[in-house]
Amino acid sequence: MTRKASPTIALFPEASFGAALNCVGIAQALRARGARPVFICHAGFSGVFADYGFQEYQLPTDEPLTDSERQSYWQAFVRRHLPHFRLSPIDQLETYVAPTWEAIVDTAVNAEAPLRQLLARLKPDAVVLDNVIMFPALAAAGCPWVRVVSCAETELPDANVPPYLSGLAADDPSREAFEVRYLAAVAPAHDRFSRLRADAGLAPLPKGLFLEASPDLNLLLTPTIVRRQRAEPLDPARFVYLEGCVRSEGPFDVPVFPRNEGPLVYLSFGSLGAMDVGLIERMLAVFDRLPARFIVNVGGLRDTYRAVPDNVFLDAWFPQPSVVAKSDLFIHHGGNNSFCEALRFGVPSLIMPYCWDGHDNARRAVETGVGRHLSRDGWSDEELENIILGLMADGEMRFRLKENAATMARAPGTDAAAEAILALVRT
């Protein structure tokens, strides 16, 4: 391959904020090194990447929804799944995980033809895929593709690593039961996915797997402090661990609170978790009696809250890395992005997962002593109060996290990712 001064790197994150913003961080580092990062995105994410100054290429959708259809979809989605988010990981397999895999396969099927056309037109020097499913068009693009493992290290199976989405410890005796039930639950989606691969000339993947490792480069967003000892170590030539992947954001001025004293706590359950208004309202009632200030991300649902306590500030969106950097505690859903941001700035995590990789990251936070886990359901006011106060008073954890944050700051994951990608296209 010829060496280009400004290679075009097409980043293709899935339609979630976590993946989108990881890729923004990598793209910022690529741009700083003279590359031309561009984004392939779903119509719903239009504007997110342009906002950071990147060219966007939308994947066309055949049937865009009207505003009222969109609203109805989300109302139905939340009504259907909120009860499931309170179930254990194993009980979510049939209720949430299997239908979600079906929807993800739908996405891959629908994207295949337009993605092929777009890649043929773009002719990128590499494609960076931050997703949980393979798009066969990438294998046919005629350039290297890079996989970003951004949910949790559990995405890559190993005997010493717990099953993906299980929230179990590696040596948990119920591991096998989870695996059996997982394979059964996702089998229909996997069969459909295998047919998509076969149509595109790709071999099927082992049962339960929807995405293979890239033959070229794989980036794992797993900081050292939470990394696992694998039975079969990953080949360092193809697998690069990153110390997170935190993007640059503008400054954040902490608002003045009517009760303006005490440590700062940031709460964000991501865009989907923000819809769990009942849970957040219960938490606000506890926050009201704590000697701390709370910044709470409520997405577009601010109007559903009333009589918010004087030590709480609600808003629809925050420049999260800049907020976490000023916080003393981060309460989140265990999304890898949030988890890595907490680690990057040396802030303890209180993880209240609702689905997917949140369970795995919550387990790992407890195992490695970088945070605590609280289930979304079944906690008492006293329990929440004690866990928040306990985390804020845990000097030993804070000291260790600050030391680790300094290590992470010295080796930004975004820079390491950009270097590895550029080394690949310049080989």
Partner 1 sequence: MQAVARRPRTNHLDLAQRILDVARQCGFEAGAHLPEQQIASLCNVSRTPVRAALRLLTEKGVVRWEAESGYRLAVDLTNQATVAADLPSAEEDELVEMILRDRSARRLDQTVTIGALMRRYGAERKTVLKALKKLTDENLLDRAPGQAWLFRRAPDDPEAQGESYEFRLLLEPAAILGPGFRLDGTRAAALRQGMETLLALPDAAFDIKEFQRLDIDFHGLIADGAANRFVTDSLSDHLRLRRLPGTYAGVNVFRLKQSLREHLTILDQLESRQYEIAADLLRVHLRLSRSQRPQAASRGAPALFGMISRPD
Binding residues for partner 1 (CB under 8 A): 14-17, 42-48, 50-53, 65, 70, 73-74, 77, 99-104, 107, 132, 248-251, 253, 255-256, 258, 270-272, 274-275, 299-300, 302-303, 305-310, 312-319, 355-356
Give, for 271, the enclosing helix (H) or strand (E).
helix 270-273
Q: How far is the CB of 29 from partner 1 (least distance, A)?
A: 14
Q: How far is the CB of 135 from partner 1 (least distance, A)?
A: 15
Dist CA 122 CA 13 (whole Å): 16
* Residue 69 DSSP SS3: helix
For residues 155 and 132, is the Cβ–Cβ distance under 8 A?
A: yes
* Residue 26 DSSP SS3: helix
Nearer to partner 1, 5 or 256 (CB): 256
The DSSP string of 38-63 is EEEEEGGGTTTTGGGT-EEEEEP-SS
Dist CA 293 CA 312 (whole Å): 6
The total of other beta-carbon atoms located within 10 Å of residue 319's CB is: 14
Start-to-end Cα distance in the chain = 7
Nearer to partner 1, 267 or 387 (CB): 267
Q: How far is the CB of 41 from partner 1 (least distance, A)?
A: 8
Q: How far is the CB of 49 from partner 1 (least distance, A)?
A: 10
Nearer to partner 1, 215 or 291 (CB): 291
Residue 21: φ, ψ to 5°: -80, -30
Angle at Cα 327 formed by Cα 242 and Cα 25, nearest 5°? 30
Residue 356: φ, ψ to 5°: 50, -135
Which residue is it, tokens 């777009």? Answer: 118
Nearer to partner 1, 319 or 369 (CB): 319
Nearer to partner 1, 104 or 225 (CB): 104
Q: How far is the CB of 303 from partner 1 (least distance, A)?
A: 6
Nearer to partner 1, 314 or 420 (CB): 314
Q: How far is the CB of 52 from partner 1 (least distance, A)?
A: 5
The total of other beta-carbon atoms located within 10 Å of residue 327's CB is: 24
Dist CA 209 CA 164 (whole Å): 10
Q: How far is the CB of 297 from partner 1 (least distance, A)?
A: 10
Nearer to partner 1, 50 or 393 (CB): 50
| Residues found in the chain | 427
Dist CA 342 CA 345 (whole Å): 5
HSE on the CB side for 260, CA within 13 Å? 5
Nearer to partner 1, 77 or 399 (CB): 77
* Residue 134 DSSP SS3: coil
Nearer to partner 1, 287 or 370 (CB): 287
Nearer to partner 1, 122 or 314 (CB): 314
Q: How far is the CB of 304 from partner 1 (least distance, A)?
A: 9
Q: How far is the CB of 274 from partner 1 (least distance, A)?
A: 8
Q: How far is the CB of 326 from partner 1 (least distance, A)?
A: 13
Q: How far is the CB of 426 from partner 1 (least distance, A)?
A: 27
Nearest one of 227, 249, 246 to 340, comparing CA atoms: 246
Give, for 372, the enclosing helix (H) or strand (E).
strand 371-373
Dist CA 30 CA 34 (whole Å): 7
| Amino acid identity, position 306 | R
Nearer to partner 1, 199 or 315 (CB): 315
Give, for 145, the enclosing helix (H) or strand (E).
strand 145-149
